[in-house]
């Protein structure tokens, strides 16, 4: 693909502009095609129910099939598939996952309610009694009921009021039960599901889809990180304080270019020391990934991050990724603008040095709470000088008029912004405010890539 | 939240439309409950004249394959009259099938012995089983004609 690709670089790290846009569009197209296939299965693969309650039963079956399909999408969205990570980006993945979570519960409840009401009408008994009969008559229906309750509980635990009250570890542990729930629910789909129990081929296809999703999760979230850790001998190289509460950790290893990480991406890092080995946290690469080492930069906030300051060189590291869609496309010949909030500078620092753009047309706007919180200042100034770009440093809160990030202030700092490809990284409030400003400038969404981090 | 509401209501409308335009056989037919006993007509009212005279004897019908499984019946004819129909095989994939098909078979037997032919209405709620039952019965009767 690329003339400069050497023998060791089997794939160019940067993806051409067009490809990156195509990936997102193809993912959407595949999803829609899948939904159409599910609809076709519902329409054609089972006898149309007849008699009283038939329409309810039919609608319930459709909702059930869709629920299975959405559950599959949810798992694949979270499987850290490289194509999904690069194509959609973490913010889109998170938003879609959150939206589909609520949608899935609505479909499951609709499925259960409609099927029960339909059979109750067919048998001429009240719905609650019919529900008891159904659960008693069909194999694996109990399992499905348990699964529905689990999934509902997990969705409730993810709503902001509950999420705020739960420890991250507790919430995450609950969320992992999703896999158990989906496994429980799977059995009633293929043994009772009208569209699968009479059709060996459809049943096999449905089973293959679920097995494939399970395999993707196991491969990309468990086996591959372990394999990469061993293959690349990933260990902590050194820990350096950038400021009082921001540290950079250098990860050493070999042949790290073969991790195929792009500047702007992140890994979920797991440090194998007592008390931390069970946690994996996302930290961006704060430097273009090299062959011998990677650098991540972390703001020290909670108990986990303060542990990071005490990491000993040589500690084994397991990395899940690369993740994230802050990926600069190769071959972009227009201007590039990077807008960072706080420690959101980390991925943009790597992009500042590498993002392809027109000669001398890269600029960076970087706001931190205080001047003392600004990190990489000399590195950034050095890169700006080298690339003929501009770095603007702003210090202070968002209420400070000098730090106003409205469309007009942004364009004053960076006149070429309306024509730019824009990368934004910061806390959610910051990225949302910037995105609103960019929208008001009429910059199309496909030219903007943003990612938020949660402290 | 707004997007979720849109997505859910959009899907609900789409499902409702799809279910409506999909042809439903007997959708309007009144439901006849499968288990309720009906007065037996055999003893009280004499059957109408048999359209075709069958030889006396017992014949087993072919297995009719339905979406829910095979259906096979055996018929006994005595002095030109259908006196007994026994279901040898009914859908029994799960308890729901059994729950629907066994009462349907009992009901069909009553209808067939009273009508003295395989030309009777199917049992609503067990359409496929009924069709298989009557098919297998017709093949058995053909052997006795």
Contacts of A254 (CB under 8 A, 6+ apart): A232, A233, A291, A292
Structurally, chain A folds into a number of domains equal to: 3
**ipTM, interface predicted TM-score of the complex:** 0.81
Q: What is the pLDDT of residue A151?
A: 97
Q: Are residues A35 and A172 in the same domain?
A: yes
Residue of chain B whose Cα is closest to the Cα of A105: B8
Last residue of a domain, one of A300, A323, A346: A323
Angle in degrees, 0-180, between the axes of helices B2-21 and A90-123, rounded to the nearest 10: 40
Strands A336-341 and A246-252: unpaired
pTM higher than 0.80 for the full model? no
Q: Considering CB atoms only, which of B4, B93, B125 is closest to A51?
A: B125
Fold for the domain defined by B54-145: Sufe protein. Chain: A (3.90.1010)
Is the pLDDT assigned to residue A455 strictly greater than 60? no
B93–A197: do the CB atoms touch at under 8 Å? yes
Domain containing A86: what range?
17-227
Q: What is the pLDDT of residue B94?
A: 66
A110 touches chain B (CB under 8 A): yes
A10 assigned to some structural domain: no
A69 touches chain B (CB under 8 A): no
Contacts of B130 (CB under 8 A, 6+ apart): B104, B108, B122, B123
Q: Are residues A86 and A194 in the same domain?
A: yes
Is the pLDDT assigned to residue B29 strictly greater than 70? no
Neighbours of B61 (CB within 10 A): 26
B24–A58: do the CB atoms touch at under 8 Å? yes
Q: What are phi and psi of A235, to 5 degrees?
A: -140, 160
A218 assigned to some structural domain: yes
- Cβ(A251)–Cβ(A235) under 8 Å? yes
Tokens representing B64? 């009719």
Measuring CA to CA, which residue among A329, A355, A295 is closest to residue A15? A329
A416 assigned to some structural domain: yes
Beta strands in chain B (DSSP E): 57-60, 64-66, 69-78, 81-89
B131 touches chain A (CB under 8 A): no
CB pairs < 8 Å spanning A and B: 86
A128 assigned to some structural domain: yes
CA distance A50 to chain B (A): 6
Last residue of a domain, one of A194, A227, A260: A227
Q: What is the pLDDT of residue B35?
A: 35
Q: Are residues A366 and A306 in the same domain?
A: no
Q: Considering CB atoms only, which of B4, B95, B127 is closest to A50?
A: B127
Segment A9-52, tens digit of pLDDT: 344 445 555 666 788 889 999 999 999 999 999 988 777 776 67
A43–B22: do the CB atoms touch at under 8 Å? yes
Residue of chain B whose Cα is closest to the Cα of A133: B96
Q: Are residues A76 and A165 in the same domain?
A: yes
Contacts of A393 (CB under 8 A, 6+ apart): A366, A367, A368, A374, A377
* Residues of chain B with C-beta less than 8 angstroms from the C-beta of A50: 24-27, 29, 124-125, 127
CATH code (residue A319): 2.40.30.10
A3 assigned to some structural domain: no
* Residues of chain B with C-beta less than 8 angstroms from the C-beta of A55: 19-20, 24, 27
Q: What's the whole-number average pLDDT of chain A?
A: 88
């Amino acid at each position: 693909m690329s003339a400069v690709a050497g023998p060791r670089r089997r794939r160019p790290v940067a993806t051409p502009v067009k490809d990156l846009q195509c990936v997102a569009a193809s993912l959407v197209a595949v999803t829609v095609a899948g939904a159409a296939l599910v609809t076709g299965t519902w329409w054609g693969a089972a006898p149309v129910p007849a008699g009283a309650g038939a329409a309810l039963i039919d609608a319930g079956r459709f909702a059930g099939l869709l629920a299975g399909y959405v559950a599959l999408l949810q798992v694949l969205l979270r499987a850290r598939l490289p194509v999904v990570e690069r194509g959609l980006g973490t913010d889109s993945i998170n938003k879609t996952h959150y939206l589909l979570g609520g949608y899935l519960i609505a479909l499951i409840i609709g499925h259960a309610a409609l099927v029960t009401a339909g059979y109750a009408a067919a048998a001429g008994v009240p719905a609650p009694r019919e529900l008891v009969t159904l659960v008693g008559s069909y194999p694996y229906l109990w399992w499905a009921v348990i699964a529905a309750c689990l999934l509902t509980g997990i969705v409730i635990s993810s709503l902001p009021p509950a999420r705020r009250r739960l420890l991250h570890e507790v919430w995450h542990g609950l969320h992992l039960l999703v896999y158990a729930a989906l496994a429980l629910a799977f059995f009633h789909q293929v043994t009772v599901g009208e569209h699968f129990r009479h059709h060996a081929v459809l049943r096999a296809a449905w089973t293959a889809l679920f097995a494939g999703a399970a395999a993707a999760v196991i491969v990309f979230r468990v086996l591959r990180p372990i394999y990469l850790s061993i293959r690349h001998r990933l260990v902590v190289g050194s820990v350096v304080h950038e400021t009082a509460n921001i540290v950079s950790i250098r990860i050493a290893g070999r042949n790290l270019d073969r991790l195929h990480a792009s500047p702007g991406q992140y890994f979920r890092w797991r440090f194998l020391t007592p008390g931390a080995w069970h946690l994996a946290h996302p930290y961006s690469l704060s430097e273009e990934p090299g062959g011998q080492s990677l650098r991540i930069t972390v703001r020290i906030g909670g108990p986990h991050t303060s542990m990071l300051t005490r990491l000993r060189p040589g500690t084994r590291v397991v990395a899940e990724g690369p993740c994230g869609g802050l990926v600069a496309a190769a071959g972009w010949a227009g201007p590039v603008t990077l807008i960072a909030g706080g420690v959101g500078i980390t991925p943009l620092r790597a992009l500042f040095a590498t993002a392809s753009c027109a000669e001398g047309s890269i600029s960076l706007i970087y706001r931190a709470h205080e001047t003392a919180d600004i990190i990489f200042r000399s590195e950034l100034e050095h890169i700006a000088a080298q690339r003929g770009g501009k770095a603007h440093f702003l210090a202070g809160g968002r209420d400070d008029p000098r730090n106003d990030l409205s469309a007009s202030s942004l364009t004053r700092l960076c006149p070429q912004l309306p024509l730019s490809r824009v990368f934004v990284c910061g806390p959610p409030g910051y990225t949302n405010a910037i995105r609103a400003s960019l929208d008001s400038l009429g910059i199309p969404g496909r030219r903007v890539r943003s990612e938020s981090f949660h402290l | 939240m707004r997007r979720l509401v849109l997505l859910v209501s959009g899907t609900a409308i789409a499902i409702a439309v799809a279910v409506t335009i999909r042809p439903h056989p007997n959708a309007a037919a009144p439901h006849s409950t499968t288990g309720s006993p009906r007065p037996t007509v055999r003893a009280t009212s004499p059957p109408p004249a048999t359209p075709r005279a069958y030889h006396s004897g017992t014949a087993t019908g072919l297995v009719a394959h339905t979406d829910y499984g095979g259906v096979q019946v055996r018929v006994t004819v005595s002095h030109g009259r259908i006196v007994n129909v026994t279901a040898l095989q009914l859908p029994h994939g799960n308890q729901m099938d059994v729950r629907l098909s066994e009462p349907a078979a009992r009901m069909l037997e009553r209808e067939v012995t009273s009508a003295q032919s395989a030309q009777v209405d199917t049992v609503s709620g067990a359409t496929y089983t009924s069709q298989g039952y009557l098919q297998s019965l017709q093949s058995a009767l053909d052997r006795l004609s």
